[in-house]
Amino acid sequence: MNKKVLFEDLGHKDYKETWDYQELLFQNIVDAKIRNRRTESNEDTSNHFLFVEHPHVFTLGKSGDMENLLVDENFLKEKGATFYKINRGGDITYHGPGQVVGYPILDLDNFFTDIHKYLRFLEEMVILTLAEYGLKGQRSDGETGVWLDVGTPFARKICAMGVRASRWVTMHGFAFNVNADLGYFDLMIPCGIKDKAVTSLNVELGKKSVDMEEVKQKLLRHFESLFEAKLVKQKANV
């Protein structure tokens, strides 16, 4: 099993360009698995992990409801935002500057073939990172992602998640609000969940901004530990 994960920080990158790049990496892994099966060979399959910050964008998952977008696309254009229907699970979400968006494109045959465990590990990565800032991140029953003050009237989401998996290969991932502009969340019903708020790490810490690079390094360290992976940094090539 190949536990080496090629890591790229794409910096600020358009959503559609990044989605296309994910699809390319995803398909390369799937094709390698198909070749292995057909030829009974044992070619290593690669694993990738991308970090990116997107310009303002709203995305709707396969099971999503357009009614959870509270404005029309013309209004989004006025706000400098784009909109895409995409092939992940989940409902509507927002990506924008000040978020660490992470896309693990992993062959889970190299780790464990359990999507539930995979999602819990991604949540745990964020929970452990929040703990380093003195915050208690939590899971909310039936609601994927990471929350604060679950079970109280003040429950609020700090990290959204939505993934796709085929042949045990993953894509899409998580969006962790670090220095996010929370006003954009008012334009939708986040993840289709009504009456619950959204927050950002800088807000919780009472700071104007939090060091994004510091947050990224903490996330990567916990990812390596949880997945027993070896991250290999690559120069972004898109």
Is the predicted pLDDT of residue 148 greater than 90, yes or no?
yes
Summarised one tens digit per residue, pLDDT across range 101-133 is: 999 999 999 999 999 999 999 999 999 999 999
DSSP 107: B
The answer to whether the beta carbons of residues 190 and 94 sit under 8 Å apart is yes
Is the predicted pLDDT of residue 194 greater than 80, yes or no?
no
CA dihedral in degrees (11, 15, 16, 21; nearest 10)?
40
Average pLDDT, stretch 49-77? Answer: 86
Write down the pLDDT at residue 224: 98
Give me the chain's average pLDDT, please. Answer: 91
Q: Which of 127, 158, 165, 191 is catalytic?
A: 191
Helix residue spans in 89-168 (DSSP H): 115-131
Does 89 appear as a known binding residue?
Answer: yes
Write down the pLDDT at residue 192: 53
Sequence-distant (6+) residues with CB within 8 A of 51 are 7, 8, 9, 10, 100, 101, 102, 216
Q: pTM of the full predicted structure?
A: 0.92
H or E element, residue 143: strand 143-148
Residue closest to 112 by CA, chosen among 186, 59, 47: 47
Map out the domains of the chain as residue ranges. Answer: 4-233
Write down the pLDDT at residue 189: 73
Does 206 appear as a known binding residue?
Answer: no
Does 7 appear as a known binding residue?
Answer: no
Fold of 4-233: BirA Bifunctional Protein; domain 2 (3.30.930)
Is residue 191 annotated as a catalytic residue, yes or no? yes
> Which two tokens mark 85?
């229907």
Residue closest to 195 by CA, chosen among 143, 159, 138: 143
